[in-house]
Chain A
Amino acid sequence: MRITVLIKKVLQAALFYEIWGAMKVTFKHMFHKPITFQYPREQRILPDTHRGALALLRYDDHQERCVGCDLCEAACPSRCIKVISAEDVKRPLQRIASEFYIDITKCVFCGYCVEACPVNALAMTKMYEFSTHDKRTLLFDKERLYDIGERHLEDAKKYLYAHNQEKNVEESREYRYYFPQSVLKPTQPPPKHLG
């Protein structure tokens, strides 16, 4: 018994049995569909509910949706949002965010701000690449956020839809609230359900 075991071991050693076993796995993978993404060249397909970079949205007539209500700021658990609101100079009595900052380095991508937004001005996109040489560029200001919103408009709308926050573009305005407009310059007709 001991002899046969010994011979087997010697034979296996002489014929590099274990290496052949390992090589078998290697050769098997040569004909296998690769699992690893070649990340920078290949991009993963993300679900619509994915919580990526935040974006500010506009209505179709290019009007800013954001009314500067500061509710996102209040909802944010990591305190990364700062809204400075004011009366719109061009449209009296209309509240607007004169400045809007999101420190994306602090953001925990919880999506509470999007949920808090009464006008669906905030949405999350599928953008997640933030690498930069200058960390200061990661403090997104209002211009940058609207820019992201424009570039990722489809994703943002899909996000709101997937999270059951917005049904479609036409209904978006009347989805939650209707804000009384400036009397001097009505910019939009009263919504259907109130008219």
Chain B
Amino acid sequence: MGLKPATNPDVEAATIELSIDGKIVAAKNGVSLYDVISSTGKIIPAMCYHYTFDPFGSCGMCLVMQEGKKAPVRSCTAKAAAGMIVRTEGEDLFLARKKAVEKHLSVHPLDCPVCDADGHCELQDMAFQHGVTNLPNAKQKFIPEDTRSPVLDFNMNRCIACAECINVCKDVLMIDVLQFTKKDGFTQVVPKGDVALSCEFCGDCLAVCPVGAITNKFSKYLYKPWQIKKTTTTCNYCGDGCQMHLETKDAEVVRVTSLLSWKNKWGDRADTAKGHGGLCVRGRFGFEYIDSQARLKQPLLRKDNQLVPTPWLEAMHVVSERFAEIQRKHGPDAIAGLITARCTNEELYLFQKLMRTGFKTNHLDSSARYGHLNFVHASRQALGIGRSPNDWEDLTKAKAIIVIGSNITETNPLTAVRIKEALRVYQAQVVVIDSTVTNMARLASHPVLINPGTEGLVIDGLIKAALELDLIDEASVKQYPRAFEALKAAVAHISLERIAAQTGMSVDCLRSTVAIFAEAPRSIIVCAEGIVRQANGYQNVLKLIDLAWITGKLGQPGCGVNTVTEEPNEQGAVDMGVAPEFLPGQASFNDQAARDRFGKAWDMPLPAAGSGANLVEILKRCKSGEIRALYVVGENPLATLPASMEVRAALDRLELLVVQDPFLTDTGRMAHAVLPACTSAEKDGTFTNLEGRVLRVREAMDPIGESLPDWHIMTALANALGCEWAYESSNDIQAEIMKVLPGYYNLGQPRKVVPTVDRYLSSGYDSEVSARYQASAPAPKDQRPFTLLMGQVLYHSGKLSTAAPGLIKISPNTGRLKMNPQDMERLGVSEGANVRLTSDSGSLQLAVQADQFVTTQTCFFPEHFNEPPVKDLMAVQVDPTTGVPSFKQTRVTIDKA
């Protein structure tokens, strides 16, 4: 079988004609006959078929009569050929299909009433459709249920050996942990090696299982499909913006299902370039935080140094009074606000409007500050667009992809699946440059391991290699000769050999990487936490843009420099203007035309141009006493930022700290008032994902307890402060955003924007470029030999996922530092032994754990857990241009304790 799709951007398959039920149908040569038949609108039953992978042909249901053949043929594995004459209906075919159903049913237990798939089972549907009422030779299997995995149960009595789970795992996700084995005389699916299943737990095997052979431990026996309400909404764990069905029963979330399912198995393989519809472990199994017992159900007010449950009216009264008092006494600049990028666009918009017109201050920031804001600033500066230029389809169909400083499978698993498809289906060349052996590096065609913290130097080397090998796109550089000369002069001092020595990436490797990138017709760079959340992130993204520019990849279709975001609406936070430097639509806060426009739209003068403090500045001013009241929506600076930023001291000095959150966070425990907010499952709105698509978030259930949507609380607060806001639903806010930002709601399609480098390259480029490529002093190695990295793990996202018991069960906080086994041997520590970890900012003792994918001289601790408080060892470096604090990497010493 040839791989579908038959056409790709480079090769167009020939068109052929064949006759189906007497009608002439045009099709692409070489595709499956089943696809051709289903494209005409006819549906033939098939239990082992799914359009996302190659046909397997085990169920024997998709039978058709082909002229010239005596027996019916399986249409899924038959290739369409010119001149074929096919019949898909008839009594003989019905009986043949019925026989196939009987064959499956005769070894299938009739335990439908207690099966989780009851009512959502293809075998049940088929038995009903074909009128199977009597099974003469039924036999039972009595295979014990495999319950060893923490997530999925395998009941192989029910398995019909369709291999959909194996195929989706191997072909689509490239995880490949399932296999067939013959045990006790029956073919059954087992995890490879017949051990407890331990994988990425994306659960796509569960989604495609047409029977109840694979079931979900978290929702086992809790529901019947007809009892649950299904709401299509957007996942709120990462910036991928996956669509999912949240299935609820009264006030309880029962399970999450994906668009990928055995139910929608008909489609064009080429469409998977836009996403295969699956979910990751966080989206599918991390739903339990929504109806968690830990949710706040009532407002809390501090009375006698204790947080006491208080009715809403009283709480809002006190909060608004205190805000108004501080505003009156100390002026509007004594108030500041922070919001999380897990809020919807509408709420983010309302937040900045509340801060700017209600509190009349420009001290506001969002978690995008320590997220992807370095990228936004660099991209906006150079190209005029503050977001990733490419969508998932571009990524899938790229010919060369450089993934630098991004553990993309762990941070954005579904974007990683796009790269996997590029690798597997479109044979792209993928270069992964990272200081750990990431999952993507293990799959990539060109994995490169570098020394930690040398990503910036690698980019210098790539640019130098491009110039040396003359991989320059003449047309691009010819337009801006001065800028090009300046760039050449700036990198003149760089020697590839020295870079190779410093980064651990050989000269040949640098050369071949840049050759792959420059020579491919569609080349994409993906940079993430290793670049944008580190020191010099802004400059390093600009360097990547330089690389794309000189190789002629800027503005070309399917090319560009991209990032991925950790939180679902980081892009929305920037687009809605939740930053002191931005107004909605990424207009500059100091731009007089934009100020006039928004001042008029909001009927209120804006705070003075040039005023405003960002996250780091706000905390500094809180500590100095300049800011006296802080309004924190969903943020938790105390648990996120390292101790060296002195968050606790800053919050302690505040006269009023109001925290609005679904949970009682560390910051909430310090607050004077805590307002219970809803999670995204209980409100309407939109998220903007990393591609720039605006996606709907829908209300799946009533708010838990007395919690309220954030926009509702903010509207009440604004009205108490004297604004006259009449928003009654998030639709009203949407209507206003549509007026001030025409075209922002783009019906789920990313807005195509053409990057313009003109302004950037023709004015001021040459003066700033030399500083960008200045050789930085190599880090002193001897004093602190190890690099401590903190990052995301696949099973968690920020602090939110730690409130989901299911994800904690899959990946608990081990409290252990991950180290390379070789390093452990050198230090003479064994698994679980304690070590002392010392950085410039402090020292603590913790146990170690061997991880072969962590490279030597580095160690890793997940950023989601603060027990032990490893984050407090981090030093903070603040980017001078963008004000982004970076605190995910530091140098440490490790001693045996």
Contacts and interface: CB of A to CB of B under 8 A. Distances in A.
Contacts of B153: 93
B147 A180 contact: no
B109 interface: yes
- The dominant DSSP class at the A interface is loop
Interface string B123-148: 00000000000000000101011010
Contacts of B880: none
Contact of A71 (B113, B145, B155, B223): B113
A190 B109 CA distance: 13
Contacts of A69: 113-114, 118, 224
Nearest to B111: A179
A87 B157 contact: no
B142 A180 contact: yes
A183 interface: yes
Interface in B206-243: 220-224, 226-227
- Of B144, B153, B221, most buried by chain A (CB within 10 Å of CB) is B221
A182 to B, nearest CB: 8
B897 interface: no
Interface in A78-135: 85-87, 92-93, 95-96, 118-119
A180 B113 contact: no
A153 interface: no
A70 B147 contact: no
Interface string B102-125: 000000011101100010000000
A177 B111 contact: yes
- Of B110, B113, B157, B223, most buried by chain A (CB within 10 Å of CB) is B113
A177 B118 contact: no
Nearest to B249: A84
Interface in A158-192: 177-180, 183, 190
Contact of A87 (B110, B140, B155, B221): B221
A67 B224 CA distance: 13
A68 interface: yes
A187 to B, nearest CB: 14
A87 B220 contact: yes
Contacts of A86: 221-222
A85 B228 CA distance: 13
Contacts of B113: 67, 69, 71, 118-119, 177, 179
A83 B123 CA distance: 25
Interface string A42-74: 000000000000000000000000011111011
Contacts of B147: 92-93
Contact of A183 (B109, B144, B221): B144
A74 B220 contact: no
A179 B144 contact: no
Contact of B224 (A74, A87, A177): A74
A194 interface: yes
Nearest to B217: A87
Given A93-B145, A190-B142, A194-B140, A179 B114 contact: yes
Interface string B146-187: 010000010101000000000000000000000000000000
Interface residues of B, number: 21
A180 B153 CA distance: 14
Contacts of B223: 85
A183 B155 CA distance: 11
A74 B226 contact: yes
Contacts of B111: 177-180
B140 to A, nearest CB: 6
Contact of B227 (A70, A180, A194): A70
A140 B417 CA distance: 51
A194 B221 CA distance: 25
Contact of A180 (B118, B157, B220, B226): B157
Contacts of B110: 177
B764 to A, nearest CB: 66
Contacts of A179: 111, 113-114
Nearest to A74: B226
A119 B222 CA distance: 19
Given A92-B147, A93-B145, A70 B224 contact: yes
Nearest to A96: B221
Contacts of A92: 147
Nearest to B157: A180
Contact of B222 (A71, A85, A93, A178): A85
Nearest to A118: B113
Nearest to B116: A95
B249 to A, nearest CB: 9
Given A70-B227, A95-B114, A180 B109 contact: yes
A96 B113 CA distance: 11
Given A67-B113, A69-B114, A118-B113, A183 B220 contact: no
B146 to A, nearest CB: 9
Contacts of B220: 87
A67 B220 CA distance: 13
- Of A93, A180, A194, most buried by chain B (CB within 10 Å of CB) is A180
Contacts of A93: 145, 147, 153
A183 B113 CA distance: 19
B121 to A, nearest CB: 14
A173 B893 CA distance: 67
Contacts of B109: 180
A122 to B, nearest CB: 13
Contacts of A74: 224, 226
A73 to B, nearest CB: 8
A87 to B, nearest CB: 5
Interface in B83-109: 109
A180 B223 CA distance: 19
Contacts of A183: 144-145
A27 to B, nearest CB: 64
Contacts of A178: 111, 140
Contacts of A119: 113
A118 B109 CA distance: 14
A189 B227 CA distance: 33
A180 B109 CA distance: 8
A67 B140 CA distance: 20
A183 B144 CA distance: 6
B144 A95 contact: no
15 contacts: A68-B114, A69-B113, A69-B224, A70-B227, A71-B113, A85-B223, A86-B222, A87-B220, A87-B221, A93-B145, A96-B221, A177-B113, A178-B111, A179-B113, A183-B145
Pick the 3 closest A-B CB pairs, nearest first: A69-B113, A183-B144, A95-B114
Given A69-B113, A74-B224, A118-B113, 17 more contacts: A67-B113, A67-B114, A70-B227, A85-B223, A92-B147, A93-B147, A95-B114, A119-B113, A178-B111, A179-B111, A179-B113, A180-B111, A180-B145, A183-B144, A190-B140, A190-B142, A194-B140
Interface of A: 67-71, 73-74, 85-87, 92-93, 95-96, 118-119, 177-180, 183, 190, 194
Interface of B: 109-111, 113-114, 118, 140, 142, 144-145, 147, 153, 155, 157, 220-224, 226-227
